[in-house]
Chains A and B, each alone.
Chain A
């Protein structure tokens, strides 16, 4: 297969993801309503109760709304990653996953294309959210809008790969909904998305450590620093390493000799 074949394959998968995304307008709206509710309602209540000290990357005292925006970008890409994987479980139940896996291109490439496409779809949601947040006076520097792009893509790849791994483990759509509750909410609440880690440490030392090792915390911190045109090297290393590990695990999960395909023959109840 020539390099152009790989490129055409990526474009095809991306086009399909975009076509599905554009058809599901409610998905786009709900992806914006969720963080906007947090930003407008939740943050308004917390602003009074929670003081934010001057912590990097911020150079002055900030409002809670400013603090929470990177965490809400995190939740957009987290939900999008899970939704994309949900569609893979759906695809598998509907059989279209098998069509993808019978492509002559390597399976790791097909899954990577799927992940990258999901990450690119996330970008539309993230930038629409940043635009709305700007109306609420959350105004990062202009350069930040550019530097947040690779950080968001990396975070989306990591979370998409987690979803992909879950999709390779979970057999049916109904089970996946349960996994969402056990994975999405703990990842989100046990992170620095809503509260700074030092606040968490003040409250509870072991909760702080759970938050500190949560890869989602590092993805959020990578986005937070990038949004202010800065780099958090530790967050970059942890997010990138976790993304690679999860992608490898997900690819193994879709290997014909192990994972879901071994157990079901590529379809529920295959004989």
Chain B
């Protein structure tokens, strides 16, 4: 099976501080993988490396066979990204935000319009396409960001703490929707979070702390391997209860 993400022996430093120390993991095509760790564990650094906002000091990242350092265009074209921080232009309408995103992906406006209709309809936002983003609540803005990330039909979706700031109901709906994208479209998803409660015990997760991987595998199997009674106890044992 093709690796959507192959992160190999990544080391990254901010000045003298080591942010990531020999981090390796793999996400396969159509798979859901959670990157779980407390604040400061290095999740956003991994995210920045995957999206080429940063370059690793050591190690290689491959996206669907394209080396991110050597073929950044080919690698980035495969991914849709939802950042932790809101990134929509609040003064533009939903349609204008999507049109802009489609354009910077190099897509023809007609193709963008078609994809935008499909994605906004899926998210129940098509009727509101001409509203300014400023008028939307947090949950709807997140939906627009995911719709935007899917606009160019990526094979890999990266979400950095996408549920941050949402209420429980919106968080659950968001998780279920993203999960359904894996099943229905065969999309590979990397979901970073510090909340183990958002995940299902059947999800595969990489547990990260202070820039190093503590363990990785399907959560239910990790629970059994570490001889604890649930995922909360697992996190308590491995990450000191911070996640």
Q: Which of A90-98, A147-155, A194-202, A225-233 contacts B (4 or more CB under 8 A)?
A: A90-98
Contact B104 A110 (CB under 8 A): yes
The answer to whether the Cβ of A159 comes within 8 Å of any Cβ in the partner chain is no
Say whether B72 faces chain A, with CB atoms less than 8 Å apart.
Answer: yes
Given contacts A99-B83, A267-B85, contact A23 B103 (CB under 8 A): no
1/0 per residue, CB under 8 A from B, across A218-259: the answer is 000000000000000000000000000000000000001100
Write the nearest CB–CB distance from A3 to chain B, whole angstroms.
Answer: 10
Determine if B186 is an interface residue (Cβ-Cβ < 8 Å): no
34-70 of chain B: CB within 8 A of chain A: 39-40, 42-45, 48, 51-55
Q: Which residues of B contact A (CB under 8 A)?
A: 14, 19, 39-40, 42-45, 48, 51-55, 72-77, 79, 81, 83, 85-89, 91-92, 96, 99-109
Of the candidates B14, B42, B104, the one having the most CB atoms from chain A within 10 angstroms of its own CB is B104
CA distance A101 to B72 in the complex (A): 11
Residues of chain B within 8 A of A12, CB atoms compared? 99-100, 102-104
Top 5 nearest A-B pairs by Cβ distance? A12-B103, A5-B106, A266-B53, A104-B77, A95-B85
Q: Find the A residue at minimum CB distance from B93.
A: A19
Known A12-B99, A103-B104, A261-B54; contact A96-B44, beta-carbon cutoff 8 A: no
Interface residues in A, total, Cβ within 8 A: 37
> Which one of B45, B51, B102 has the highest number of Cβ atoms from chain A below 10 Å of its Cβ?
B51
Cβ contact within 8 Å between A8 and B83: no
Question: Given the complex of chains A and B, what is the CA–CA distance between A104 and B48 in angstroms?
Answer: 15
User: Which listed residue (B19, B40, B42, B105) contacts A103, Cβ 8 A?
Assistant: B105
Which residues from A are CB-within-8-Å of B106?
Answer: 1-2, 4-6, 8-9, 103-105
